[in-house]
């Protein structure tokens, strides 16, 4: 064992913790043969899924009268429910969803270790993340922006030395370094904490995809006092997809089939996806955010299978 550890020690410094653990297990026990997700769900009757609780309206918690504990709801939760329905039909038995709250820092590890079967939230596929997990086709698209107080707004050029909060474990930090290199980037544990710090004046701005920022401030006294930068376009367009365990094509195909069926007709503002979208982002939704035509076209283009 000591000899194996010594052999792998140089690699340990450049691998995340979950990759190092998997590499050590591979060296000691040989190839890992994880049970395929569909087979495990068929046997257990349970879909283990995860989403963020700090990304309204994609995933957040509510507690209704008569309920002892808060529960996760949101746009992403509804997508997971569509996947559950497909599983029940395909497997010929009722499937239960067990939802787990994920964070920006643990979501990839939870999927890579197969602690959960799928994570749907505001996760952007990157080449680095693809080393640990696979991704579905995109189900949402939006751009990174920075929320600041109107009273301090001097455009992107006025962010020199300003403290901008970003959630740890997100792609936002790299985007800010590229577009506003003179800003002081402050890592926050989650978006809820970051917003509280911003409201108290401990941060000069808060960065994430624009729709998350808008939803956070929707019912806040700050709503009329903030603006998003840049005003007319995003710093960087980001596609969002579900994270899936690696090398499980049957499971990935089922998830993609569900998303593709929902997205059918999205470029014409109709179909299952648009109905769910309207529930959360329409006039009676959590935050009014009409589906952008360009984004609808991009989502439609992600359906690459012929019927």
* 172: CATH: 3.40.190.10
Given a cut of 60, whether residue 252 has pLDDT beyond it is yes
- Are residues 182 and 126 part of one domain? no
Phi-psi region of 13 (alpha: psi -120 to 50; beta: other; left: phi over 0): alpha
Residues 62 and 127 reside in one and the same domain: yes
Q: State how far the Cα of 34 lies from the Cα of 22, in Å rounded to an integer.
A: 12
Residue 222 lies in a domain: yes
Q: Quick one: pLDDT at residue 219? A: 86
d(CA 139, CA 240): 6
* 306 domain residue, yes or no: no
301's CB contacts (< 8 A; 6+ apart) are none
Q: How many domains does the chain have?
A: 3
The model's pLDDT over 122-178, given as tens digits with 9 standing for 90+, comes to: 999 999 999 999 999 999 999 999 999 999 999 999 999 999 999 988 899 999 999
Instruction: Say whether both 6 and 130 belong to one domain.
Output: no
> Cβ neighbours of residue 113 under 8 Å, at least 6 residues apart?
18
Q: Tell which residue, 295, 291, 304, has the closest CA to residue 257.
A: 304
Check if the beta carbon of residue 222 is closer than 8 Å to that of residue 112.
no
**What is the extent of the structural domain holding 24?**
1-33
Percent of the chain at pLDDT > 90 equals 80
The answer to whether residues 186 and 261 touch, using CB atoms and an 8 Å cutoff, is no
DSSP classification of residue 232: S
Which of the listed residues 222, 238, 254 is the one where a domain comes to its end? 238
Domain limit, last residue, from 238, 255, 289: 238
Is the residue at 254 inside a domain? yes
Cα separation values, 120 from 51, 123, 136, 151, 272, Å: 5, 7, 9, 36, 17
Is the residue at 307 inside a domain? no
Please say which residue of 191, 220, 238 terminates a domain: 238
Mean pLDDT, rounded, for 284-307:
88
Q: Are residues 260 and 117 in the same domain?
A: yes
Residues 133 and 42 in one domain: yes
Closest CA to 227 of 198, 192, 194: 198
Under the banding of pLDDT at 50, 70 and 90, the label for residue 4 is: very low
Residues 232 and 282 in one domain: no
Q: Are residues 106 and 173 in the same domain?
A: no
Round to whole Å and give the CA distance between 95 and 93: 6
Distance CA 298, CA 293 (A): 9
Output the furthest CA–CA distance in the chain (Å, rounded).
Answer: 63
Residue 97 lies in a domain: yes
Q: At 66, is the pLDDT very low, low, confident or very high (cuts 50, 70, 90)?
A: confident
User: Do 46 and 125 have their domain in common?
Assistant: yes
In a domain, 180, yes or no: yes
Model confidence at 233, pLDDT cuts 50, 70, 90, reads confident
Confidence at residue 5, expressed as pLDDT on a 0 to 100 scale: 42
Whether the pLDDT of residue 21 is over 70: the answer is no
Q: By the 8 A CB rule, do 183 and 176 touch?
A: yes
Q: In the structure, what pLDDT confidence band is assigned to residue 232 with cuts at 50, 70 and 90?
A: confident
Mean pLDDT of all residues in 201-229: 94
Residues 123 and 261 in one domain: yes
65 has pLDDT over 90: no
Q: Is residue 250 in a domain?
A: yes
Is residue 54 domain-shared with residue 132, that is, in the same domain? Answer: yes
| Sole residue written with tokens 């890592």 | 187
Same domain, 226 and 82: no
d(CA 246, CA 285): 35
Q: How many CA atoms lie within 13 A of 161 on its CB side?
A: 1
Global confidence as pTM: 0.83
CA end-to-end span of the chain? 53
Write down the pLDDT at residue 33.
57
Whether pLDDT at 205 is above 60: yes
Strands, E assignment, 231-307: 237-240, 243-244
**Tens digits of per-residue pLDDT, 25-60?**
433 333 355 789 999 999 999 999 999 998 999 999
Asked if the structure places residue 263 within a domain, the reply is: yes
Does one domain contain both 223 and 254? no
Q: What is the pLDDT of residues 87-119, one digit of tens each?
A: 999 999 999 999 999 999 999 999 999 999 999
């Amino acid at each position: 064992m000591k000899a194996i550890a010594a052999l792998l020690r140089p690699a340990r410094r450049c691998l995340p913790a979950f990759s190092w653990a998997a590499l050590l297990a591979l060296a000691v026990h040989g190839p890992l043969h994880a049970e395929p997700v569909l087979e495990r769900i068929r046997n257990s009757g349970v879909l283990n899924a995860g989403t963020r609780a700090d990304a309204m309206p994609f995933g957040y918690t509510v507690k209704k009268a008569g309920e002892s504990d808060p529960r996760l709801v949101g746009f992403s939760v509804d997508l997971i429910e569509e996947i559950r329905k497909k599983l029940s039909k395909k497997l010929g038995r009722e499937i239960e969803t067990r939802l787990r709250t994920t964070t920006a820092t643990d979501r990839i590890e939870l999927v890579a270790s197969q602690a959960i079967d799928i994570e749907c939230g505001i996760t952007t596929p990157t080449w680095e993340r693809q080393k640990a997990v696979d991704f579905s086709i995109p189900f949402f698209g939006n751009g990174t922006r920075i929320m600041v107080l109107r009273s301090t707004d001097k455009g992107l050029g006025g962010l020199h030395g300003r403290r901008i909060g970003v959630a740890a474990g997100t792609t936002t930090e790299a985007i800010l370094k590229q577009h506003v290199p003179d800003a002081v980037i402050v890592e926050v544990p989650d978006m809820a904490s970051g917003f509280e710090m911003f409201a108290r004046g401990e941060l000069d701005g808060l960065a994430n995809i624009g729709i998350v920022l808008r939803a956070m401030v929707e019912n806040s006294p700050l709503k009329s006092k903030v603006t998003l930068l840049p005003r007319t376009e995003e710093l960087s367009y980001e596609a969002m997809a579900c994270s899936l365990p690696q090398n499980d094509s049957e499971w990935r195909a089922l998830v993609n089939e569900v998303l593709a069926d929902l997205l059918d007709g999205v470029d014409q503002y109709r179909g299952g996806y648009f109905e769910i979208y309207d529930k959360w982002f329409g006039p009676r939704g959590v935050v009014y955010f009409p589906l952008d035509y360009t984004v609808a076209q991009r989502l439609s283009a992600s359906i690459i299978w012929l019927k």
